[in-house]
Structure 1
Amino acid sequence: MDVLNIKDLQDDATLTHESCYRALAAKDARFDGVFFTGVKTTGIYCRPVCSVKTPRASSCVFFSSAAAAEVAGFRPCLRCRPELAPYALQQNLAYAVWQRIAAGALNDGDMERLAAEVGLSSRQLRRVLLQHFGVTPVELAQTQRLLFAKKLLQETRLPMSDVAYAAGFGSIRRFNALFLARYGMAPTSIRRAAEKFPGNDLDVITLRLAYRPPFAWTEMLHYLSGRAIAGVEAVTEDESGHLSYARSVRVDGINGWLCVRHLPEKHQLEVSLSITLAHALMPLLARIRSQFDLDANPQVIAAHLASDALLAKQIVRTPGLRVPGAFDVFELASRAVLGQQVSVAGATTLSGRLVGKFGIATDTPFAGVTHHFPLAERLAAASATEIAAIGLPVARAEAIRNLAQFAAQGGLKIKVGTSLPDVVAHLKTVRGIGEWTAQYIAMRVLRYTDAFPAGDLGLQKAAIEFDDGVRLTEKQLLQRAAGWSPWRGYAALLLWQSLA
C-alpha cells in the first residue's frame, strides 16, 4: 500500500498525517493532487478540495496517488471526481504556469521557452493545463490578456494602442478582433461605460489590486520601513497618518517608479506607476501581488495557527498579518547577507551605502527614492575590497560578491516545484549563505509559506514563554514550530510582531 510518505508532499518534508488532515479540513487547493484521502467509514477516497463534510481524523488514511487508494480498496468520490485532480508535480506546475502566463510569459508566443522554464516539453505543458484548468496554454493566455486589457480600459486612460500592447497583443487589430469575438463588444464600449478612477493622467497610471481581508497594512509597512533600502525604497506617512510605500523600478530593462497605498474600505491596494512602465504592467503587477502577499488567505492561516496559545494572542492583536515579500530576489538576498550578525538598523545602513556606491541613479517624484539597486553583474565584477569599503568585513564582502556571481549565472531562478529543503540546500551552495539566510530568502521572496529561520535570535526570544523564561535553542524552536506547519513563515511574522 502506497500510503502517503511525508517526503511525497508538495514542498515540505515536515508534513505529517496531522498536517495532511489540516490541509483537508481547510480544503486547501494547494494540495489538490498532492495527496488523496481514503475514508475508512465509507470506503471512498476524495481530493483535498472535496466539498463534503470533513471526516474525523481517525477515519482518514492518506495516499500519494489515486491509484494507490484504489489498490487499497477505496472507490472514487462521485462529487469531487479524483480523476480530475492533477498529479502532485502537475498541481505545482499548473498553478506556477498560470502565474507566469498571468505575468505575460506567453505574450511573445514562445511556448517552447515557457515549457523549458518549468522542465516540460510543450506537449506536456499543454496536457498539464488541460488536466488542471480544462484549457490550453494559448486559451489561458488569451483569457488573461483580455481580462488584463479590460482592467486597463476600466481603470486607466491609456491610449487603446498602449492597452493592447500592455496586455500582450501583437497588434491592435488582433486585440479588437479577439475582444469583440469573446465579449461581444468593442473595447471602446468598455471604456465609455467604465468608472473614471482618479489619479490617472498623462504621466501616472493608477491601478487597483484586491486582497482577502483582513490585511494588517500598518504592521506590514512598519516592517518594510525598518528594512527599506535607502535610495531604492521608502515608506512615508501623509498628514492623515496614512502609510504608503514607494520605490524605484527596473523591469525587463524598463525604468520607472511605483507607489502603493491602502484602500481598506474596498479591500484593495492602489498602485500608482510611472507612465514609462506601461508596457511592463503584467509582470510588474505580479511582482507587487507577491511583495504584499495579496494571494494569502488570512482566515485559513489564522484558524490553524490560533491553536497555539502564544500565536493566538498575536493573531487577535494583528489580524491579517502577512509575510512581507520583496520586489526583487537579488535585492532581498543581498540585504539578507548584509543583515548577518548585525542589527536591522545596521543592515539598513549598509544596504544604503551599497546602493550609494554601486547603484544606478534615477529620477522619481519621491525625495527618498533616487537609485536603482545595483545589478548583480556590477557587484559580481567588483572586488571584495571595493565592496568592503562600505564598512563590511572582508568575509561578508566576499559573500556579497559570491551571491552576485551566483545571481548573474541564474542561480536565483528557482525551478517550479523545487522543494523547500532543496531550495535551502541550493542557496547554501553560495559561500557565505547559511541556514538562516537561506530560510529568510525562501520565506520573504521565494514565497515558501513554511520557510522558518529558526536560528533567528528574535524568534528564539519571542518563544521564551514556551520554556519557563529560558530562550529556546534553534533545535528547540524547530521542534516547537513543527505544529505550525505548513504556515511557519506566518508564525515567524507573528513572533517578530509580538516583540514590537
Structure 2
Amino acid sequence: MHKDTQSCLRAVRAKDARFDGWFYAAVITTGIYCRPSCPVTPPKSANLRFFPSAAAAQQAGFRACRRCRPDASPGSPQWNERADLVARAMRLIADGVVDRGGVPGLASKLGYSVRQIQRQLLAELGAGPLAIARAQRAQTARLLIETTPVPLGDVAFAAGFASVRTFNDTVREIFAQTPSELRLRARSRQQSAAPGTLTLRLPFRQPLDADDLFARLKAEMLPGVEEWRDGAYRRTLGLPHGHGIVALRPLPEHIECRLTLADLRDLSTAITRCRRLLDLDADPVAVDEALRADPVLTPLVDKDPGRRVPRTVSAEEFAVRAIVGSGVVGYGTPISDPAGGLTHVFPDLASLDLPIARALAEVDLGVGSDWFQAREQLSALGIDVVTVETIAKRALGDPDAFSAADPAIRCGVRKLGITDLATHSTTWRPWRAYAGQYLS
C-alpha cells in the first residue's frame, strides 16, 4: 500500500487508525516516522515518505515518534491473510525464528535459499530479515525497559541483542533516547504488578467483538491449562526457553496482557502468540465489508461487527485437542501458579506416546507452514475434512478455511434459506472462516 501515495496521504490526513501497521509515514524535516493515526498535525505532503514496515523506516535513518509509538502498531493483516513466502517468513520472524536460528534457520524452515528470502523481503518490505528482526528486538527492549525493573544489561540479552553496546546503539538510534532515559521517562507511567509479571497493552483495529471472542475461548477451556478468573482468560504457554502464564483481559481500547515468564527471552514470542490467539492483527472493516456484500450475512454482521477467529498459541496443541481431546493434559509439564488454578503446560508432541502424536510430528503445522500442503498431510492421516478445516482455520490461521459439512455452521444456516451451502459460501471468499464465526 505504501506505493499508493494518494491513499497514504488520505489516511494520514484523516488520522485513520485502520491503516496503522499497513504502512508508516516518515517526515523528512524531522527525521521521525509515525503511524498513519499519529495525533500530530500532518506535515506538507512534499515532506512525507511512506514505508511498508518499521524496519524499512529505521533502515532509512528515521526514528520512532514518541507520541504515537509506531513500533507498537498492530501488525499488518497481510501476514495472517496470505500464504506466500513473504507472509510465511514474516510470521516466523515474529515468532522469533531469526533470533534463535538466524537467517539460515528461517531459510531452512521455509525451504528456500537465504538469497531468495532476502530478495523477496527487500522487494516487498524494503528490509531484509535481519533488519525486521532488529526492529522487533528494539520493540521488545522498549517494553522491558519501560515495564520492568530488570537491569538494563539483562534487558539487552533478554531482547536478543548480542552485546550491550549493540543494544545501546540500537535503542538510541530508533528511539532518540538512551535506555536509561527511556526508563526514567516511563517511571511516572508504570503500574504496579506482581513481582515477575509484565503488564502490557495489546492494540487492535476496531471494531472487536470481544464478548464473542472470549466466550468461545471460555467454552473450550481445558482445566489446568486454561481458566477464566477475575474477568480475564488465563492460560499456560509452552515457549522456546521455558514456560509462561498469561492473563488476557478485554478492555474497550486494547487487551490488557499480564505475562509471567520463566525466561524473559521469550517475551516477544509470547506477545506474538497471544496476538495470534486473539486474531488481533485482523482488518475487521475489510472483512465485514466483504461479508456485507451478501444480503444473507448483512444483518448478522451489522448486529455484531468485528468478530474474530479465535486461533491458538500452538498449532500442535490445537491439532491434538481437535483429534484426541483433553485427556492428555496430565502428560504436560507441571507448573506453579500462585495467582490461580493453572497446573500444567500442554504437552508437546514428543512427550505423547500416541500414534497420532507421532504422525502429527511429521506434519508441518508451524506458523510458517504451507496451509495447503498441511491440509494434504492431515487428510493423508485419515482425518475427516471438518477437522482438517478446523485445524486450518484455528491452528494454521487460513482466513478462508471452511467446510460446508461443519455441523455448527449448518445449524446456523438453516434459518437463512441457504439450500446449497457449498456453492453459496464461495461468495464469502477469501473470508469464509470469518463468515463461519457469524453463522456458528
Residue 204 of structure 1: aligned partner: 197
Residue 490 of structure 1: aligned partner: 434
Residue 116 of structure 2: aligned partner: 124
> What letter corresponds to residue 425 of structure 1 in structure 2?
E
Residue 408 of structure 1: aligned partner: 361
1:255 to 240, 243, 246: 243
Residue 427 of structure 1: aligned partner: 378
d(CA) in 1 for partners of 2:421 and 2:4? 29
TM-score scaled by structure 1? Answer: 0.68
| Greater Cα shift, 292-301 or 95-104 | 95-104
1:477 and 2:421 correspond: yes
Residue 77 of structure 2: aligned partner: none
1:332 deviation in Å?
A: 1.0
Deviations 1:11-51 (A, max 9, x none): xxxxxxxxxxxxxxxxxx6xx9xxxxxxxxxxxxxx99984
Residue 235 of structure 1: aligned partner: 228
Kept in 1, the 8 Å contact 2:99–2:160? The answer is: yes
Computing the radius of gyration over CA atoms, which structure comes out larger, 1 or 2?
A: 1
Deviations 1:38-86 (A, max 9, x none): xxxxxxxxx999849xxxxxxxxxxxxxxxxxxxxxxxxxxx9xxxxxx
Q: Does the residue aligned with 2:269 lie in a helix, a strand or coil? A: helix
Aligned CA distance change for structure 1 residues 256 and 135 (closer, same or farther; 3 Å): closer
Kept in 2, the 8 Å contact 1:179–1:187? The answer is: yes
Residue 134 of structure 2: aligned partner: 142
Q: Does the residue aligned with 1:372 lie in a helix, a strand or coil? A: coil
Residue 62 of structure 1: aligned partner: none
1:492 deviation in Å?
A: 0.4
> What letter corresponds to residue 360 of structure 1 in structure 2?
T
Kept in 2, the 8 Å contact 1:157–1:201? The answer is: no
> What letter corresponds to residue 427 of structure 1 in structure 2?
L
Residue 414 of structure 2: aligned partner: 464
1:223 and 2:174 correspond: no
1:298 deviation in Å?
A: 0.7
1:105 deviation in Å?
A: 2.2
d(CA) in 2 for partners of 1:407 and 1:253? 22
Q: CA RMSD in A?
A: 2.6
TM-score scaled by structure 2? Answer: 0.77
Aligned CA distance change for structure 1 residues 199 and 310 (closer, same or farther; 3 Å): farther
Q: Does the residue aligned with 2:199 lie in a helix, a strand or coil? A: strand
d(CA) in 1 for partners of 2:264 and 2:121? 29
Aligned CA distance change for structure 1 residues 408 and 95 (closer, same or farther; 3 Å): closer
> What letter corresponds to residue 238 of structure 2 in structure 1?
R
Residue 345 of structure 2: aligned partner: 372
> What letter corresponds to residue 242 of structure 2 in structure 1?
I
Q: Could you list the runs of 5+ residues in structure 2 that have no partner in the other structure? A: 9-49, 51-81
Residue 176 of structure 1: aligned partner: 168
Kept in 2, the 8 Å contact 1:209–1:270? The answer is: yes
1:275 deviation in Å?
A: 4.0
2:104 to 87, 99, 112: 112
Identity of aligned pairs, percent?
30
d(CA) in 2 for partners of 1:271 and 1:244? 9
Aligned CA distance change for structure 1 residues 219 and 165 (closer, same or farther; 3 Å): same
Kept in 2, the 8 Å contact 1:91–1:132? The answer is: no
d(CA) in 1 for partners of 2:341 and 2:239? 20
> What letter corresponds to residue 187 of structure 1 in structure 2?
P
Residue 264 of structure 2: aligned partner: 278
d(CA) in 2 for partners of 1:459 and 1:322? 16
Q: Could you list the runs of 5+ residues in structure 1 that have no partner in the other structure? A: 1-28, 33-46, 53-79, 81-89, 339-349, 383-400
Residue 330 of structure 1: aligned partner: 316
